[in-house]
Amino acid sequence: GNRIEFDNTIDWRSAVCNLKAVFPLAVSNANATYNWEVGTIQRGNDTPSKYEVPAHDWFDLTDTDGTYGVTVLSDCKYGSNKPDDQTLRLTLLRTPGASGYQDQATQDWGRHEILYGLSGHNADWRNGQTVWQAMRLSQPPIAFQTTSHSGTLGRSLSLLSVDNPRVRVMAVKKAEDSAELIVRLVELDGQAQTGVHVSLPNGIASAREVDGQERPLGAATVNNGELVTDIGAYALRTFAITPSPVATQVPAVTQESVPLLFNRAVTSNDGQSSVDGFDDGGNAIPAEMLPSEIDYRGVSFDLGPTTGGQLNAVACEGQQVLLPTGPYGRLYLLAAAANGDQVTTFLVDGEEVRLTIQDWGGYVGQWDNRIWEGGITEVAFNWPWAYLGLEPAYIRRDPIAWFSSHRHTSSGGNSSYDYAYLFVYAIDLPPGATTLTLPDNDKVHVMAMTAANDPGADTTPAHPLYDVFNRDIVIPTVMTPIAATGWNRDIVVDQGAATPFSDDAMSFDTSNNWSYYEDGLAGSAKGLPNSRQFVSISDGTTQVQLQPYDQNNVLFMETSQTTGTLTFDPADQTTYDRLAIFAASANAQSGSTGALTITFTDDTTATNLTYNGYDWFFVVSANAINNLGRVRLSNGDFEDGSEGNPRIYQTTLDLKAMGLNEKPIKSLTFELATATDSDRSTAIFAISGAETKLAIDLNCDNETNFDDVEPFVLTLIDIDAYDDAYPNCDEQRADVNDDGVIDGADVQAFVDALLQP
């Protein structure tokens, strides 16, 4: 093998320490070489003020006699140090101590998948072609699966070739403003290279040199259909290349738009209330951002009217859609779901096709994410919030055809960084298919359909193109409303109330007689939704159900009654991985929180928990719903909800991370949120939760399936036989098998031997 790879999965919860991979080597040199991607730098041993230095992809220690060296390779870690002449150390994780910036005390906590390697070489790193070992570690070949077909190109074809191994192609892309190809080259060794030839399969018609922004720099030389150039030491050169014409063209996608009968208006104009909205809370797609046509990999979607308030989506209710006649083998849907991912069944001429339609909001993915007892503060150097747990990493894998940078609230306000997505789904059509029956689920919204015969549809990656978190995980589930009793005050003026409003509801801000109200009260376009339902904008997925507006609808606390309890249904024995609390305070502060105690059905309790009881005005973090407006009960004056006020806030408790997800909950007891004002009050509006789910084992080579496997496995990568590099998950581990796997008992001896000169 040409290198050793160490593939690590680490669950990290350590404090005030670094995790480093240490390599005590047989070679010795006071200086090591560190890669800078475009160049290298020589550095000596650590000093008191230089104890951590950066490197990109690799750093190398070659013996002083120049006969042998060892390179440390890394695909994602950049910190390193060299304590002495014979030791290299790669920093994998770092959790520092913290006095200020206390959030750093849990930095790097969570699950990590880290790949690094070692490569030995004769002479120096140039002779060993260390750069290529690093590239093969961080950019391994990716296979695609397709159907076989006849042709003249043979069994192999290279899109682009360079005849000098000391020159690397850094990038190949389509030009921004022309049909040219942009090719960026870099010299690897710090030694000028002359007469470098770059070729394409069908030849190069012309080329010109450009800069990093694709602005012209000058002419380039093309001889016999090849680009010929010189490259200086560690230099970058970029060329705009026009390929020679080819006789055979890939046929265009044959397609036809499918007419739809729209029944829902899912867009709104900026500053105008939505008619329907995309979700139950009336949140909508910004009409000013949605185009009339969306192209996805050659498939075009013709959208309905994009102006706010017009019908432009199909809310699925079991409708039948007639399919066009023609040579179409696949039906493409432009769609998304509201109120969380929706598992659905479509019918093609009566045959079931099951699809999970992803929610239109939230994040596409994230690594393990820390959960805090409070929201993000403007002043970061003093972090007041306690660490509560981790939300596990996830990735939403459906292809995105379009997205927007924000969404509109029900009243037409802009909810910044609250993304909206439309996804593409494909349904294979049998010959002669005539009818598609939509699912009976009005949370699924179809924006457009196109029937197509796509010649490239059968070409798919055989390996993920991005991180997919191959681990035992629980995919985050949507939190849904939880019923409870104990609501003790009506602070919402319902839509049909007449003045004086104090006859309909009690005040929330008791000293100033302000309260919440229902949308439409006295003609107002603000207020809480008529449906009493919305999806929290804090995470884009949590479903919230408010209590009826014409009766007690909050758990109310004030200085004369500082605690309150909400009791769950005794017949409900559900356990929860996560809870969401929805609350707000009046006459409080931006950082006000309240204590929370969970009582379980066995009468044990969980204490030292807190919820966000922020003042209902001006706090921008953890908003579940905002821009609501308020009404003064005594005289009927309205405040219109400018600057997003007032608000209700979300607190998410990761019960699983705290080990509190194994018992049903009996009740939640709240304490009045802390603040200096004696007139403060706090209201709990609703509770939602995600039920406990069993972990799904997504790891193919999970060693718990083997009784006799050593706990550590090392894989040798032979670049000449990369397809055979990784073992199948059902193979037993031998001392050294055909796939290059070494039994853990022999790893140390093998590494010791490899690192000897």
pLDDT tens for each residue of 644-666: 789 999 999 989 888 899 999 99
Phi then psi for 501, rounded to 5 degrees?
-70, -15
Question: Residue 471: its pLDDT value, please?
Answer: 52
Peptide bond into 165 cis (omega under 30): no
Instruction: Give the model confidence (pLDDT) of 161-208 as tens digits.
Output: 999 999 999 999 999 999 999 999 999 999 999 999 999 999 999 999
Q: If pLDDT is split at 50, 70 and 90, which confidence band does 642 have?
A: low
The residue among 675 and 568 whose pLDDT is bigger is 568
User: What tokens appear for 270 in the block?
Assistant: 């900026």
**Do 254-358+396-469 and 480-691 have matching folds?**
yes
CATH architecture of 480-691: Sandwich (2.60)
To which residue do tokens 């930095």 refer? 107
Has residue 469 got a pLDDT over 80?
no
Minimum mean pLDDT range among 22-36, 611-625, 688-702: 688-702
Phi then psi for 185, rounded to 5 degrees?
-115, 150
Has residue 376 got a pLDDT over 70?
no
Cross-strand bridge partners of residue 578: 654, 690
Has residue 96 got a pLDDT over 50?
yes
The residue among 338 and 478 whose pLDDT is bigger is 338
Which CATH superfamily does the domain covering 3-138 fall into?
Golgi alpha-mannosidase II; domain 4 (2.70.98.30)
Instruction: Give the model confidence (pLDDT) of 266-323 as tens digits.
Output: 999 999 999 999 998 899 999 999 999 999 999 999 999 999 889 999 999 999 999 9
Instruction: Kindly list the distances between the CA atom of residue 416 and the CA atoms of 238, 265, 270, 358, 419, in Å, as whole numbers in the listed order.
Output: 37, 21, 13, 21, 8
The residue among 385 and 497 whose pLDDT is bigger is 497
CB 536 within 8 A of CB 624: yes
Out of 3.30.70.140, 1.10.1060.10, 2.60.40.2220, 3.30.565.10, select the CATH number for domain 161-243.
2.60.40.2220
Question: Residue 598: its pLDDT value, please?
Answer: 97
Question: Residue 295: its pLDDT value, please?
Answer: 95
**In 165-298, beta strands by DSSP E:** 167-174, 181-187, 193-199, 204-210, 216-219, 221-223, 226-231, 236-243, 254-257, 267-268, 285-286, 293-296
Q: Please report, for the chain, the start and end positions of each structural domain, with discontinuous segments joined by +.
A: 3-138, 161-243, 254-358+396-469, 480-691, 703-754
- Mean pLDDT of the region 340-369: 92
Residues of the chain above pLDDT 70, percent: 88
Question: Residue 641: its pLDDT value, please?
Answer: 62
Residue 518, burial from CB neighbour count under 10 angstroms (0-12, 13-18, 19+): buried
Has residue 752 got a pLDDT over 50?
no
Pairing relationship of beta strands 40-43 and 293-296 according to DSSP bridges? unpaired
What 740-745 contacts at long range (C-beta under 8 Å, 24+ apart), as own/partner pairs, is: 740/1, 740/715, 740/716, 741/713, 741/714, 741/715, 741/716, 742/713, 742/714, 742/715, 742/716, 743/710, 743/713, 744/710, 744/711, 744/712, 744/713, 744/714, 745/710
The alpha carbon of 650 is separated from its chain's Cα centroid by a whole number of angstroms, namely 21
Sign of the CA dihedral running 380, 538, 667, 494: positive
Is 138 in a helix, a strand, or coil?
helix
Residues of the chain above pLDDT 90, percent: 61
Q: If pLDDT is split at 50, 70 and 90, which confidence band does 90 have?
A: very high
Q: If pLDDT is split at 50, 70 and 90, which confidence band does 149 have?
A: confident
Give which of 68, 70, 72, 61 is closest to 29, Cα–Cα: 61
Q: If pLDDT is split at 50, 70 and 90, which confidence band does 693 have?
A: low
Question: Residue 470: its pLDDT value, please?
Answer: 61
Instruction: Give the model confidence (pLDDT) of 425-443 as tens digits.
Output: 999 999 999 999 999 999 9
Has residue 749 got a pLDDT over 70?
no
Q: If pLDDT is split at 50, 70 and 90, which confidence band does 747 have?
A: very low
To which residue do tokens 């185009």 refer? 291
Cβ count within 10 A of residue 154: 6
Has residue 737 got a pLDDT over 50?
no
Alpha-carbon Rg for the chain in angstroms: 31
Question: Residue 570: its pLDDT value, please?
Answer: 93
The residue among 564 and 475 whose pLDDT is bigger is 564
The residue among 706 and 56 whose pLDDT is bigger is 56
The residue among 755 and 289 whose pLDDT is bigger is 289
Buried b / exposed e across 623-646, counting CB within 10 Å, b at 16+? bbbbbbbbbbbeebebeebeebbb
Q: If pLDDT is split at 50, 70 and 90, which confidence band does 612 have?
A: very high
Question: Residue 241: its pLDDT value, please?
Answer: 98
Has residue 709 got a pLDDT over 90?
no
Phi then psi for 749, rounded to 5 degrees?
-65, -40
CATH architecture of 254-358+396-469: Sandwich (2.60)
